[in-house]
Copies of this chain bind each other. A is one copy, B any other.
């Protein structure tokens, strides 16, 4: 039985992408070799790269003056690559959660990371707003969605300086205006594919301004010039991303998935708000459509609730170890039927406990 996978990531992927990926591991394109055994410089893999990039470009509407890169090392490596490549002396950071915090820590190795806004005072249960972005910083860094705390930026600031965004946990979940950003990065393992590849979308003209010597692999220019093939790329993860984006396009792209994601989130939060046993942890206006964090008002019921979820084929509900409670991640590939099963189960649980 296929599980209702509410895991926070690596997360649920579309069946079609999984089926094609499994077939490609056995024999790719009928060439008598596995996708895992072919040269990354072969024409067969070149076609994968070209298609993956063109789907990113098409689905997000990436302007021509941006490069699209598939790198290794996760968003965690981007936390360092961003300041290493872009910070001359100081940069502005919005501290909206654990990941922003990690990005700030890395940036301080290369200059001054100025925290211009934070929601730490309420354990990151809201998204900071109304802050002033200093003109004299090299860039502004924001995190679009906070996987751990369940908040999401519903709109982005107008920034007078280059804006960098970590979109790891909500990229491809909604339309974005890429031209507002100078660099976007995202670990693939939520909405885009499996673990092991990181998408970077970068405005070409922001580079080359620091004069800082950098290791070859950590320079964006290396990968732009090498077209993500400077060294051997993560072939299989890129392929799965490509097939995941093929699926996304087939169902109508980011505009269509945004509607589905909104419907899923609305259904879920409506249950949380009407169910007497549960409570959401975040400010309503900032609630993430990707990761919904909630609590049982009576924590003693947690074990029983998780047991009931497990029996219903629901997995991945346990909250991050740093916040406790529950988290329902509702990534692109999660069918609305799974949300129905979960909300029905929450409803049944309340009836049982009434």
Chain A: residues with CB nearer than 8 A to chain B? 1-3, 5, 7-13, 18-19, 21-23, 25-26, 31-34, 36-40, 72-77, 79-80, 84, 102, 105-106, 109, 187, 189, 193-197, 213-218, 230-237, 240, 313, 315-316
Contact = CB atoms under 8 A, between A and B. Distances in A.
A36 to B, nearest CB: 4
Contact of A80 (B23, B37, B218): B218
A188 to B, nearest CB: 9
A76 B216 contact: yes
A11 B32 contact: no
List 4 tightest A-B contacts by C-beta distance, closest first: A196-B234, A80-B215, A72-B72, A22-B25
B74 A231 contact: yes
B213 A10 contact: no
A3 B231 contact: no
A321 to B, nearest CB: 9
Given A2-B32, A36-B21, A189 B76 contact: no
Given A40-B195, A76-B231, A77-B217, A315 B33 contact: yes
Given A216-B80, A315-B33, A10 B39 contact: yes
B1 A13 contact: no
B237 A234 contact: yes
